[in-house]
Amino acid sequence: MSLRQRIATSPMARVAAFPGRARMVARHDVGVLRNSARWLVKSREHTNFTYDLQPLNREHLAWWVANAAGTPVSVVRDYIDEADHDADLIEHVLAATRVSDRRGLADDEVRLGKRLGWYALVRAMRPSHVVETGTDKGLGSVVLAAALLRNGSGRLTTVDVNSASGYLITGRYAAVTDRVVGDSLAVLAELVAPVDLFLHDSLHTREHEYAEFEAVEERLARGAVVLSDNSHVTDALPSWAEKTGRSFTYWHEWPASHWYPGSGIGLAQFVAPE
C-alpha cells in the first residue's frame, strides 16, 4: 500500500486533506469576493439584480422551456437569442432609465437573466392573457410585453402596490400592458379575462405567494401555466401544484460574473396523459 493510501485510511486522513480542502474553498471565496467588489464599485442596483447567464445555464434554460412548452429546443434557443438581441427593447430600457428619477438605482446595461425564460415561454406558448404580480421598475413587464408584441397578440396585466412602479412601461410596451396599482390578492379576485400565464413576483413570503395561487386558481384558463420567481426560497408553488393535480418543475439561474447565486423559475402545469 502506498503512503497516500495509508494516510487516506488512517485516523490522520481528515488532517492531511485539510490543506487541499482549504485551497478549494479559498478559490471559490476569492471569486465571490472579486465579483462582489466589482459589483459594489460598478453597479447601482439595490434589489432585483440583473446579470447575464452562464452559457451552459442558457442551454439548460432552453431545454427546460422546450420541455415545458412542447416546442423544439432549436426554436426556443432562437427565442432566447431574439430577446437578448432585441435592439428596440434594449434601447427602450436604456432611454427610459436615463430620464427616470430612479436612475440612481438602475444600471446602464440591459441584462435579462431569468427573464429570458419568461420571454421564451410566452413566445412558445402564445398566451392571450399574461398576469404578473410585482411590477417594480417594469423590466420583466416590458420583456413579457415584447414577447406578446412578437407574437402579434395577447395582453399583459401587471400588478403592484407601489404607484411609482413600472416606469419602464411606456410606448409600444404600454400599448399591450394594463398597469394596476393595488393589493394583488384583491386584484386577482376581480379578474374577468381568463389567465393563460400567471407569474408570481410580488411579496416573497410563503403565505402571500400561496394565497396568490389560490386567488388566481379559478381564473386560470385550460392549459394555463403558473410561474413563481420565488421557488428557490419556498415550497408554495410545488405544494399548490400537488394539491391541484399539476406537475412542478424548476430551473435555477447561474449568474455570470456576479456575487448573487441566482434565483430561478418554478413552473406548474397540467400534463396530458400519454
Which stretches within the chain are classed as H helix? 3-8, 13-42, 55-69, 73-84, 87-98, 115-125, 139-151, 171-174, 184-189, 206-217, 236-243
88: its cell numbers:
428596440
In angstroms, the CA 79 to CA 167 distance is 25
Residue 262 has a pLDDT of 96
pLDDT < 70 positions in the chain = 1, 273-274
Please tell me the predicted confidence (pLDDT) of residue 110.
96
**Torsions phi, psi of 223, nearest 5?**
80, 10
Any idea of the CA torsion for 13, 16, 21, 24, to the nearest 10 degrees? -140
Res 3: pLDDT: 78
- Each residue of 12-57: pLDDT tens digit? 888 888 888 899 999 999 999 999 999 999 999 999 999 999 999 9
CB 209 within 8 A of CB 234: yes
pLDDT of 13: 84
Cell match 410580488: residue?
A: 202
Output b/e per residue, 193-230; b: 16+ Cβ within 10 A. Answer: eebbbbbbbbbbeeebbbbbbebbbebbeeebbbbbbb
- pTM (predicted TM-score): 0.93
Closest by CA position to 171, among listed 82, 93, 107: 93
Q: What is the structure's pLDDT at 274?
A: 53
Backbone angles phi, psi at 209, to 5 degrees: -60, -50
Distance of CA 195 to the CA centre of its chain: 19
Phi-psi region of 259 (alpha: psi -120 to 50; beta: other; left: phi over 0): alpha
For domain 46-269, the CATH architecture is 3-Layer(aba) Sandwich (3.40)
Q: How far is CA 243 from CA 84, 133, 265, in A?
A: 36, 22, 19
Distance CA 274, CA 272 (A): 6
